[in-house]
A = this chain, B = another copy of it.
Amino acid sequence: MRIALDAMGSDRAPAVEVEGAVGALLDRDDDVRVVLVGDTGRIQAELARFPDAPRDRLEIHHASEVIEMGEAPATAIRRKRDSSIVVGVNLLKAGEVDAFISAGSTGAVMGASLITLRTIPGVDRPPVGARIPTVAGRCLALDVGANVDCKPHQLVQFAQLGSVYAEDMLGIENPRVGLLNIGTEPEKGNEVVLEAYGLLQKTQHLNFIGNVEGREIVAGKCDVLVADGFVGNVLLKFYESVAGLITGMLRRELNEAGVQLDLDRIFRSLDYAGIGGAPLLGVNGVVIICHGGSPPLAIRNAIGVAAQSVQRRMVEHMTARLARPAEGSTQP
């Protein structure tokens, strides 16, 4: 298996990407190979820092351009045909690699994936999923940022994609799917979720458990949390910052009290870096998006997630699931 990794994406590229890739490969002795996509000279310079790097499982695929965070995605992917993102997605489309990972511009990764890989039949718009920590483990929330102003039937598609992800990637049988809402009663919510509720109830092969309130997420009420990209994105970013606020407050207090406590260990389960990127679901290929501020550990974990997605044949399963039209869907 070959996984393409955009080496130029993160805020500290290519150092973080190279370190993450080397770490991932040293971790595993299977057939996974990583293809670093980006400026050959800079990647080689970074690789030189790791004399023990398994070079037989590391390749470099040159790409001369980089799409910057501030660039308008649509324009950037059209103009920078030799950017690490466009080249990486093209490698995936051509079947030369089995997955693509990038910590670069989310918009550009999504745009290139959508244009080049296209969505699987039955998916209008590909959602981004995020595994958020709960008391019970993990819950896949989707969409967390790609699609604002979703239609009810698109939320049903998110539910189906998320359900397959939870089965294949989180190992959950018959995953509980919840609809993010302001109350648990079916008559609660805005127009879109009200209609989505009805559609989800009628969707076959889906364990829809009803509405889930904001306070029930971390309690682990569901395995898959469906929301439009606006709410999902606000929520995810808020989560990260609240965890940061609280641990910051605590760190100060512990220092003042002279108490030794390994906060990093305690809160490891809340650590975004430990989670390994956010999958872009519903496109014809395994694509993982990482934070621009990702540390090497996040890249390493994202490689693990990508490899597992390929091994479990996640995209195939999603294609099969979506091929059964959702009853009540307003799609032709």
List A residues at the B interface (Cβ < 8 Å).
134-135, 145, 148-149, 180-182, 189-191, 193, 213-219, 227-231, 233-250, 253-254, 257, 259, 261, 266-267, 270
Contact of A230 among B134, B189, B219, B243 (CB under 8 A): B189
A238 contacts B215, C-beta separation under 8 Å:
yes
Give, as a whole number of angstroms, the nearest-CB distance from A5 to chain B. Answer: 25
Contact of A235 among B218, B219, B235, B257 (CB under 8 A): B235
- A238 (CB) vs chain B CBs: closest residue: B214
Specify which chain B residues have a CB less than 8 angstroms from the CB of A239 in the assembled complex: 214, 238, 242
A234 contacts B237, C-beta separation under 8 Å:
no
Q: How many copies does the complex hold?
A: 2
- A270 (CB) vs chain B CBs: closest residue: B246
B237 contacts A249, C-beta separation under 8 Å:
no
Specify which chain B residues have a CB less than 8 angstroms from the CB of A242 in the assembled complex: 218, 239, 242-243, 246
B261 contacts A237, C-beta separation under 8 Å:
no
Give, as a whole number of angstroms, the nearest-CB distance from A195 to chain B. Answer: 12
Listed A/B pairs (5) with beta-carbon separation below 8 Å: A134-B245, A148-B182, A214-B236, A214-B237, A214-B238
Specify which chain B residues have a CB less than 8 angstroms from the CB of A246 in the assembled complex: 242-243, 246-247, 267, 270
A215 contacts B237, C-beta separation under 8 Å:
yes
A218 to B234, CA, bound (A): 12
A74 to B8, CA, bound (A): 57
B261 contacts A180, C-beta separation under 8 Å:
no
